[in-house]
Chain A
């Protein structure tokens, strides 16, 4: 008898199951609009030219070795990554009250931040502090905070399906009525999966309530630069909150904007009131990291650090990021234009109004099923599509598929 005979079979992660089904599909017209990774117009993964360049520099630099990084990670990575989010001239950085933990992608940054908050926020080991995630949100948010020990993970109103936009009133209402000290996970830009971000004015309203009600700000920033093509623009909300005096966490991912998905490059930026508080926070972060992965992997962090701190490479990188962002914007514009040209029922402005990698098409589950089964166009059950999956070669087929679906299935 196995000691594991009572272990249940876990359901696969939806987005990876979708890609698996896509891979098994033989249809010549199949399109994968599921998993969130950038694709070129040839439908291929893209290793950024600047990344290829810096990898070669690293491989040939005989001064480098493989000795353990510090527990909190590569110092030059941590500081340059935080500066990217907060701005070179950030007063908080100058006041020495910004620190960071190099983490395993955005997921790792969320995990370490969550483990810290569960231990030290709102009392000690207060597993009852509510954690609010947007409705909808990235499918893993809930589980990361739950596995960190939080027992009460709830949703805040976000997506207004009827108006296909932000439900600001609902959002603000949840901020006003939630328990004090609740933690809110905010998407810094390019909201996943809706692609719908608050405007600057809306962010100001959100911040005002959060400050007054003492709610904890935990930004998830996975698309900086990728959303609008501008690093500054995509970091506006983070920087605004910092300027308003919040102490906060920001989980940064360099998976998308560096195309370094599999090297797990992330950074948990911490903004504290002063250096003394920061120091104590970082010392506890070390304890948490030590029992999770001990110290982080070097390759991706070295790559990002060298790129961010070398002016010529930094310019190269910004250009590569803009290339990706521009292609997405082009696909948005073209998809909307084609749907309008086809006379597809419904309004399709949201495709160009939404921002970042994803679009919440508004297709319902039955329509999604039709798209997948009849048209071999793979998208998430929520109606989310990855714009990067669109190319000049498949965009007509996808537009026609949406048209057919919307007219056949209600």
Chain B
């Protein structure tokens, strides 16, 4: 009898199952609009030219070795990353009240932040503090906070399916009614999966309630630069909240905007009221990191750090990011145009109004099933598509498939 005989089979993560099914499909026109990674117009992964360049610089640098990084990570990575989010001239940085923990991608940053909050926020080891995540949200948010020990994870109103936009009044209402001290996970830009962000005016309203009701701000920033093509534009919400005096966390990911998915480059930026609080927070972050991964991996952090800290490479990087953002914007334009040209029932403005990698098409589960089974176009059951999966070669087929689906299935 095995020691493991009672261990049940866990269901696979949906987005990876989708890609597995896509791989096994032999249909010549199959399209993968599932998992969130950038693709070129040839539908290939793209290693950013600046990344290739910096990788070669690193490998030729005889002064580098493989000694352990500090527990909190590569110092020049941490500071450069926080600056990217908060801005070079951020008063909070000048006031020495911004710190960071180099983490394993955005997931790692969320996890370390979650573990910290569960131990130290709203009392000690208060697992009852409600954590609010948007409805809908990235499929892993809920589980990360649950595994960090939180017992009460709730949705806040976000997506208005009827009007295909932000349910601001529902969101504000949840903020007004949430227990004081609740933690809210906010998407800094390019909301996943809806692609729908609050306007600047709407962010101001959100911030006003959160400050008044003493709610904790935890930004998830996985698409800075990737959403609009501008780093500053995509960080507006974060910087606004900082300027309003919030203490907050930002889980940053460099997976998408550096195309460094598999090197796990993330940063948990911590904005505290003053340096003294920051010091104590970081000391506790060290304890959490020490029992999770001890100290973080070097390669990705070195690449990002070198790039962000060298003016020429930084400019080159911004160009690479704009290349990706622009291709996505082009695909958005073209998909909408083609659906309009086909006379596909419904409105399709949301495709160009939404921002970032994802679009919430509005297709319902039956329509999604039809798209996959009959058209071999793979998308998430929620109707979410990854715009990066579209290319000049497949966009007509996808538009036609959406058209056929919407007209055949209700």
Task: Please report A residues at the B interface, Cβ cutoff 8 Å.
Answer: 1-10, 12-13, 16, 35, 37, 45-47, 51, 55-56, 58-60, 65-71, 104-105, 107-108, 111, 120-121, 124, 140, 143-144, 146-148, 216, 247, 255, 259-264, 272-274, 277-281, 283-284, 286-288, 290-300
* Interface: B344 (CB within 8 A): no
- A37 in contact with B281 (CB, 8 Å): no
Q: List 19 A-B contacts (CB under 8 A).
A: A2-B274, A3-B121, A4-B273, A8-B280, A12-B283, A12-B286, A37-B67, A45-B65, A66-B262, A107-B293, A143-B290, A148-B291, A247-B2, A263-B298, A263-B299, A284-B8, A290-B143, A291-B146, A293-B293
Closest to A282 in B: B10
- A296 in contact with B67 (CB, 8 Å): no
* Interface: B203 (CB within 8 A): no
A17 nearest CB across to chain B (Å) = 11
Closest to A258 in B: B66
- A10 in contact with B299 (CB, 8 Å): no
Known: A71-B13, A143-B290, A272-B4. A261 touches B67 (CB 8 A): yes
A35–B56 CA distance with the chains assembled, in angstroms:
30
* Interface: B326 (CB within 8 A): no
Q: Which residues of A contact B144 (CB under 8 A)?
A: 291
- A297 in contact with B300 (CB, 8 Å): yes
Task: Please report B residues at the A interface, Cβ cutoff 8 Å.
Answer: 1-10, 12-13, 16, 35, 37, 45-47, 51, 55-56, 58-59, 65-71, 104-105, 107-108, 111, 120-122, 124, 140, 143-144, 146-147, 214, 216, 247, 255, 259-264, 272-274, 277, 279-281, 283-284, 286-288, 290-300
Give which listed residue, B8, B140, B260, contacts A290 with CB less than 8 A: B140
- B47 in contact with A120 (CB, 8 Å): no
- A interface majority secondary structure: loop
A274–B4 CA distance with the chains assembled, in angstroms:
10
Most interface-central of A111, A144, A147, A274 (chain B CB within 10 A): A147
Q: Which residues of B contact A260 (CB under 8 A)?
A: 66
Q: Which 4 A-B pairs have the closest CB atoms?
A: A293-B104, A104-B293, A107-B294, A294-B107
A263–B68 CA distance with the chains assembled, in angstroms:
8
Give which listed residue, B107, B216, B284, B291, contacts A293 with CB less than 8 A: B107
A297–B296 CA distance with the chains assembled, in angstroms:
10
- B4 in contact with A280 (CB, 8 Å): yes
Q: Which residues of A contact B288 (CB under 8 A)?
A: 147
Q: Which residues of B contact A280 (CB under 8 A)?
A: 4, 7-10
- B104 in contact with A111 (CB, 8 Å): no
- A67 in contact with B291 (CB, 8 Å): no
